[in-house]
Chain A
């Protein structure tokens, strides 16, 4: 079935090659502005916003929360233990046990806990009562940086362990690549399917670097989703590019760049970075190997 989807070649308008994504002639997706407003509201106020994150740790064989010498010290919280068995994560205290379901936040005094990640490799994130840092900044919407076209099949199928936008290691499936005419060159960007909370859901994502990294955007690169269109093609809208959560809090590990996903030209669209003033000279070859 998947192969059949790829095989359904579609005519691309414009001067680009038959497999390239073509710049979208129609206006920016009308719901993009609404999505951005939702995201900013979530980021600045949600209890599980990365701006409120104070710790993220692999649960492994168990974590202690609460006392000053615990794995995660929490003010005013009596000793708690977080363990995982199979796919289930449990919070245990003197008063009893509580499950922490995937994607279901659990309140603990002034704090919020979530568990994510595959069975046996679950990761606990602890959020504090206050949001720190600044809300995100964005470039103006750029109509010229919205593309629609085909997803090309991957050279080899399989999965690879990568960090998602939230720093949690997941098994991502190689979904293929897209050819994007941007900045006067045709750039091939690798696309991976990353599972999301609940196990059944997933998103096609591209983690890319470009000429703005360290000069207005987050130095390590940004994520942008590849969205399915109703006609079998896919939409790549750089206005939806967003920072990995390590841009907001040092509680999160930063994903290593994906091999090859580098656009030399500046992609002045999507989320900007007003952080620590880090500067990188230019997006050269990746310095860090991928998480495998």
Chain B
């Protein structure tokens, strides 16, 4: 084959490929144009569903009749869009409509699909409609696709059951970050009903696994975590001690303030920072004198947190900050900075 032949072959190949791509683009464009023509239908579906939710269409039968003329794809799309914003009876109406159009039944079948994308989509539909306990969904918490596991965690919030928190706690050790995030988020959203399971998990867990649970405890602030948080203060891991300090601050236990003051001398900056922030959260004004020396701490973050805490402690903290203003060095700088910011916020509030 001569060079000329090679060039011609390549040219024909590229030309054919261009034609094939153009045909694909054209066909896809036509499909898209058809969808655009259907847009009013999407709007119509939205109107009917909103009317059903707002009670304008008293009977879901009326809504169903109106919806039956529309494509299921559009109806489900609108329902998924609206679901996070509705609760109570509106949610029930949505679920009834979902059931009537067959979307829920299809999703129930879909969660058992071999294709992960179908399982994921079906799980999203069941979550949006808050469909009742479904063994397949618990199985999804150990699905091989991380997206499905994360979605199953979100479903555990929509459909709360006594066994849900236990499943979610196991998901906290998932190798995928998205799943860990989803599990933590779900446990925080479930809140108090998950506390007993979390405390049991805290008691059973090794030091290197208690971090995520302490983060949840700190976000929910249930006093039942306090005794374990005191115990964790002796943990060798700095991050755990810091998280325990945050939990104590959230729980607002009677002894939390004095305990956090003792943590201001901890060897770890991370713990000192958490304890300082905790004192602000508790508004433990009698700790102000202990916080003030931290304005000269070598760590910028601790100096900044110390100033923020002193402001949060009210008059005693503000007086100590003002006492530092005339001086020189990092403590004075931080005091001036914080007081100025504080005065700005006060002006904003007054305005």
Partners in one complex: no
